[in-house]
Amino acid sequence: MDSYGSSSEGYAAQPDLAAASVGQLVGEAASDLSRLMRLELDLAKAEIKEEAKKAGKGAGLLGAAGFAGYFVLLFLSLTLMFALASFMPIGWAALIVAVLWAIAAAIMFSRGRAQMKTVSPKPEQTIETLKEDAQWAKHPTK
């Protein structure tokens, strides 16, 4: 049994401050600070990974929509162009279809941009806990 209590009490056991030397207290504080920094780093990694997943999902959805939509719109636009060509010159029919494509592209761009705006590159929770840690380090008795 040492000055920190028995080993059966586990990691959460509080040191006996009256029996602990200054060196032991400084060592414990350094150990705690090191552990805190590792935990903060793990939290930052987890937050960044989550945001990267959101960004990847948004980009994947945009890519898949563009790929599938390309073929659908290609064949539908050809069908529409040839249908309009039975009433007007094919050049005008092609122009009308191109304008419809432009409208569809603007809508898809708008939705994709809105999805990408929800991605936060900053680990907000980590920043907040680091601020709390800094306040605690300045005033550990409060």
Each residue of 52-91: pLDDT tens digit?
A: 888 888 889 999 988 998 888 788 889 999 999 999 999 9
**Which pLDDT belongs to residue 2?**
47
Domain-embedded: residue 117: yes
Give the chain's residues under pLDDT 50: 1-10
Domain that holds residue 86: 14-125
Domain-embedded: residue 41: yes
Q: Which residue has 């959101």 as its token pair?
A: 54
Domain-embedded: residue 133: no
User: Residue 57: CA atoms inside 13 Å, Cβ hemisphere, count?
Assistant: 10
Domain-embedded: residue 87: yes
Domain count, the chain: 1
Torsion sign (Cα): 135, 137, 16, 14: positive
**Which pLDDT belongs to residue 86?**
94
**Which pLDDT belongs to residue 9?**
45
**Which pLDDT belongs to residue 6?**
46
Domain-embedded: residue 103: yes
Domain-embedded: residue 8: no
What is 51-72 written as a DSSP string? HHHHHHHHHHHHHHHHHHHHHH
- Residue 4 CB: number of other CB atoms within 10 A? 15
Rounded-to-10 torsion of CA 65, 70, 74, 77: 50
Whole-number Å distance between alpha carbons of 136 and 131: 9
Domain-embedded: residue 79: yes
